[in-house]
Amino acid sequence: MALLEINEVAAGYGEVQVLRQVTLQVRQGSLVSLIGANGAGKTTMARAASGLLKVTDGSVSFDGRDVTHLPAYRRAGLGLTMVPEGRELFAGMTVRENLEMGAVSKRAQARAADNLSRVLELFPVLQERTEQRAATMSGGEQQMLAIARGLMADPKLLIIDELSLGLAPKLVTQLLEVIRGLKREGQSILLTEQNVVKALKVSDYTYVMADGSIELEGPSEDIRGREEIRQAYLGM
């Protein structure tokens, strides 16, 4: 059984249905990307998986448990953590305070000291700025802080929504290197990305979303290597 299993999920906003019968899995220890154009439904999917958005049909299971009707904070307690699009940091708080806020569950609190050393080692720039307020950091530093805060939750699965949004290409490459490093350490990750080329390069398996449905899926390497798919779905 996969760590995260999204089964024929439908979800939307009020009368507007966005997701249609979405089925997706993240296996333990894998790095999976969900790619698609602007407005395809990636963020909606990430929110449905993490419990921030109610699903109207289908089911979500995590770590062997049906979590379809569990609110986000309960899913977080089970180890399902999302780094949201736009980061949503506590702007007036320092780097250290933001990181401390990430240790949401009892389990995470018990491991907070270890996890703090780990994330500061992973992102040395945060180590130099522990007392700086989040609002005064650059976009790239804020994204590092958002990922680090997510890791402070001691996640079994980290969902990162739009990692590259608004960041310079070089910085995106750097952050994806860190993500790959986390995966090598055994961290399971679901990455939603508009940056198709980079997402296909780093991930093990890819789902392509369009108009709220999964149009295509497969090992990232296969998808990357197929000219007709790249042209038809990815505009590459």
Applying CB under 6 A, the residues found at the interface with ligand ATP are 13, 16, 18, 36, 38-44, 85, 162, 194
Minimum separation from the CB atom of position 16 to ligand ATP (A): 5
CB of 179 to ligand ATP, least distance (A): 18
Instruction: Name residue, tokens 């806020």.
Output: 101
For ligand ATP, give the closer residue by CB, 116 or 179: 179
CB-nearer residue toward ligand ATP: 53 or 108: 53
CB of 25 to ligand ATP, least distance (A): 19
Nearer to ligand ATP, 49 or 202 (CB): 49
Q: Are 107 and 154 in contact (CB under 8 A)?
A: yes
Query: Which residues neighbour 136 within 8 Å (Cβ) at sequence distance 6 or greater?
Result: none
Smallest gap from Cβ 211 to ligand ATP, in A, equals 9
Q: How many helices (H) and strands (E) does the chain have?
A: 11, 10
For residue 93, what are the β-bridge partners?
none
Q: How far is the CB of 167 from ligand ATP (least distance, A)?
A: 14
Q: What span, in angstroms and rounded, lies between the C-alpha atoms of 210 and 214?
A: 6
Strand partners, 217: 207
**In DSSP terms, which residues pair with 31 in a beta bridge?**
189
Considering the complex, state which of residue 22 and residue 103 has its C-beta at the smaller distance from ligand ATP: 22
Kindly tell me which of 79 and 84 has the beta carbon lying closer to ligand ATP. 84
| Beta carbon of residue 53, minimum distance to ligand ATP (angstroms, whole number) | 9
Between the alpha carbon of residue 149 and those of residues 11, 28, 66, 94, the distances in Å are 27, 21, 26, 12
* CA quadruple 6, 18, 81, 185: dihedral, nearest 10: 60
Comparing CB distances to ligand ATP, the nearer of 18 and 160 is 18
SS3 4: strand
User: What are the backbone angles phi and psi of residue 184, rounded to the nearest 5°?
Assistant: -60, -30
Q: Kindly state the smallest distance separating residue 193's Cβ from ligand ATP, in Å.
A: 9
Please, which residue, 8 or 211, has the CB nearer to ligand ATP?
211
CB–CB of 106/133 below 8 Å?
no
